[in-house]
Chains A and B, each alone.
Chain A
Amino acid sequence: MTLLQIAMFALGALLIGCLPRSIRLWVLLIGSVIAIYVLQPDVPSLRRLDYVLPTAALLLSAFCWWWTLPQRQITPEDRLTFVIAIGVILMIAGTRLLAPEWRIVTAPPDPIHVAIVLAGIVLPLAWIARRIRLGWAILGIIGLFIALKVDPIAMWIAGLWRGVNGQDVSLATPVELEWIGFSYLAFRLIHTLRDRQTGQLPALSLREYLTYALFFPAYTAGPIDRAERFVQDYRALPPLDLARLQAGGERIAIGLFKKFVIADTLAVIALNSLTVTQAESAWGLWVLLYAYAFRLYFDFSGYTDIAIGIGMLYGINLPENFDRPYLKHNITLFWQSWHITLSSWVRFYVFSPLSRAMLTRQRKPPTWVILLTAHLITMILIGLWHDVTGPFLMWGIWHGIALFLHKQWSDRTRRWYQQLKTRPWRLRAWHTFGLILTFHYVTLGWVWFALPDLGLAFATVLRLFGGG
């Protein structure tokens, strides 16, 4: 989100806050749909992608709602929501009639063409969707996610898109295909589909579902809310009052300071593939790495504060995503306080089911094997969720091993730790040691996160300790 977008979203809350509740619910949906077009960056090399990708996000969300419907019964409100959503899609295409500076996307297509294409795609897909089982829908979203994250596939899709638009296919690159917010959208959609599969998801109207999936403050960088929690707020959507204005404004101000003052300043001296090769000494590398660690935290938690603050202004209390993670004294606590909503999601949908499946096997492997496997797979998935590359795989392994080792350590030292609790000074000293150790382990892990090349990352770790 840019400063202008943040200001627009905050100002929107002030205007919407004055409307009656029934209208506010609709405005929040329409605003969210328009916002995903505003947030999608223009990709000049891939024509009209800034229109197509948000439209695809909207249609995909609508289909997922359909799959989550308990009785497949559509209400008049759902029909109206669908008509409004299609209307917004066509209206954004219709902005082609306006001067370029007033358009929401750079090159809106002809609304008539859009209508024809939608009819040609939506109707057959709706027919297919009725016959697809939920499990296949989940696999489909995972497949789409993998396609976007695996460079050769993403490049092939970019080439395909270039071909359709009569552009030079040979110039296609994977980074062109930047679908903003899809990583988070996929998590929300999979959560609803899986919870529907297990019967835990409450019935949601199309309006509620779309607003949940596309809620613009959290669309690009989370937090990843749960649908049942979100709709509680949405259904009770209160008008904007001074207390919420203050709380939301305060949170936005903190977020702006973290992101645009601290993080952007630290970015100048943070580790990256250029600065790492320029650093002349190990101590210099450590400075770059510390700057990267804090920049990452302030950037991400700043965005989260802004999202939560804007959410508050609209009456939605998004979940917290950070809880002073660098002050935790072990790696397990760190992961309970860093990107909390992602960690919880993965724990809920990957770690627990995987561990359970292995535990309930007839020939059950040793517990330590189950734990190591579950930790490694979970953390590797989180790593690869960022990008399917060697360094992110390594980052996942780095944290998976740490979580496993900490679990082994805490299991074996539980009695000693209980005794330590009776001696406050020793406990404090132990926690301080743990904090320093955890912070440095996590910080060293950022080397894999920051550098795009596995060899360079290994060499950097060596250089940090005077080697290489």
Chain B
Amino acid sequence: MSLIRAIIKAAVLFVLIHLAWGIFDLTPRLGAITFYNGLIPGRERLPYGEDPAAYNLSLADMGAMFASHRLAQPKAPDEYRVVLIGDSSTWGILLRPEQTYAGQLDALKLIAADGRRMRFYNLGYPTLSLLKDLMILDQALAYQPDQVIWLTTLQSFDRSRQFDSPITRQNPTQAGRWLSFEAEVRDPTLIGQRRAIADWLRLQLYGVMWGITGVDQVYPVTYTPAQTDFEVDLRWNAFASPQPLGETELWFEALRLGVTRAGPVPIAFVNMPILISTGVNRDLRYNAYYPRWAYDHYRALYAQIADEEGWQYLDLWDLIAPTHFTDTAVHLSPEGAAILSDRLLDLLSMNPIQTLHKDTEMIQSG
């Protein structure tokens, strides 16, 4: 009977596709296929989020994530490409794409002394982990950046919390290159990869909405401002009381690994501004994240290591007034982001390449 034949054919076809998908591990290849930067414009920042109303999603496939970013466009011969790596502050929680550091710098339409047009790309990704940043840097190098600006904060350095970022656990091969851990066995078959395939499809669909609306984040009318009054509390992560913090606790090695991996591409490091509270127990804590003792240790260590390694390093920890922070001690308002972006220009001046305004007015010379 034709019904039975149809059922048998469908079953055989499914088994074949299922096995082929697993044997040839087709999910990463699928990630490279994209409507972005062709049918629809590339995203200004990496896909992240859980709210469908933002036409955005968090997915595990880093190939698909990068393929959806405008960074994946071919590099023009006259382009000087700068990528900014960091956490949610760089990604721009509560900021529109053009208000982020990369967005504001890009809007300046700077031209390098050698005549190349400077383009800035936002590769920030929410969650605090240097391992995650390393993985993004590793992937970004395939897109020929001329300079990397790596913005960090203490919370990303805690060696024991590098795998708190889901993307690190979901990409065990990439993560394992930098930090060993016991990864779950990945099932490459069609059924095992069904979530990844569905995410890929959703990423393409949301891309249509991104192209039409320019929305990639839900902007609430109100939000709870960052905490400024604290209990008497000296804890920082697993450390209950003040103690010396060294490279055993803070993973500065990640920055060295990044520099080695980047090779000839210069990396400039930035210690991100934090909210310095003026509220209750401000003498004990700078903010909800950091007790003073831990943060002061970290800053001193960072400055020492950067000096020893000869890194381009900018410590902007107290650059921004408390009024320019939004919902956390590291998220900036558009005004705060503008102040920070202005200072990031200093980093570019450290580079041998001089930067000029589009109208050829010289603003920095190296």
Contact = CB atoms under 8 A, between A and B. Distances in A.
Interface stretch (A189-197, A273-281, A380-388): A273-281
A287 interface: yes
A252 interface: no
A432 interface: no
Interface string B177-211: 00000000000000000000000011001101101
B3 A284 contact: no
B300 interface: no
Chain B contact residues: helix, strand, loop or mixed: helix
A278 B2 contact: no
B213 A280 contact: yes
Interface string B83-121: 000000000000000000000000000000000000000
Contact of A245 (B3, B211, B213, B214): B3
A246 interface: yes
B306 interface: no
B32 interface: no
A275 B1 contact: no
Nearest to B212: A284
Nearest to A265: B205
A268 B56 CA distance: 11
Given A245-B3, A246-B3, A274-B53, A288 B212 contact: yes
Contacts of B202: 268
A21 B332 CA distance: 73
A268 B3 contact: no
A253 to B, nearest CB: 10
Contacts of A390: none
Given A268-B52, A268-B206, A274-B53, A281 B212 contact: yes
A268 B52 CA distance: 9
A284 B215 contact: no
Contacts of A346: none
A242 B206 CA distance: 42
Contacts of A284: 211-213
A366 B208 CA distance: 51
Contacts of A279: 212-213
Contacts of A278: 212-215
B2 A246 contact: yes
Contacts of B214: 278, 280
Interface in A221-276: 242, 245-246, 249, 265, 268-269, 274-275
A246 B4 CA distance: 9
Given A242-B1, A245-B3, A246-B2, A268 B213 contact: no
A269 to B, nearest CB: 5
Nearest to B208: A269
A281 B211 CA distance: 10
Given A268-B206, A269-B205, A287 B212 contact: yes
A242 B214 CA distance: 52
Interface in A283-302: 284-285, 287-288
A230 B235 CA distance: 75
Nearest to B202: A268
Contacts of B208: 268-269, 287
A294 B62 CA distance: 32
Contacts of B211: 284
A268 B201 CA distance: 11
A412 to B, nearest CB: 41
Nearest to A285: B212
B330 to A, nearest CB: 28
A285 B215 CA distance: 14
A288 B212 CA distance: 9
Contacts of B2: 246
Nearest to A267: B205
A385 B43 CA distance: 43
A89 B1 CA distance: 43
Contacts of A287: 208, 212
A82 to B, nearest CB: 40
Contact of A268 (B1, B6, B205): B205
Interface in B276-332: none
Contacts of A280: 212-214
A287 B214 CA distance: 14
B11 to A, nearest CB: 14
Interface in A424-448: none
A285 B212 CA distance: 8
A284 B202 CA distance: 18
A284 B212 CA distance: 5
Nearest to B201: A265
A268 B209 contact: yes
Nearest to A247: B3
Contacts of A275: 209, 212-213
Interface in B23-52: 52
Contact of B209 (A246, A269, A285): A269
A288 B52 CA distance: 16
B207 to A, nearest CB: 10
Contacts of B213: 275, 278-280, 284
Given A278-B212, A279-B213, 15 more contacts: A245-B3, A246-B3, A249-B3, A265-B205, A268-B52, A269-B205, A269-B212, A275-B209, A280-B214, A284-B211, A284-B212, A285-B212, A287-B208, A287-B212, A288-B212
Top 7 A-B pairs ranked by shortest CB distance? A284-B212, A278-B213, A246-B3, A268-B205, A269-B208, A279-B212, A278-B215
10 contacts: A246-B2, A265-B201, A268-B205, A268-B206, A268-B209, A269-B205, A269-B212, A278-B213, A280-B212, A285-B212
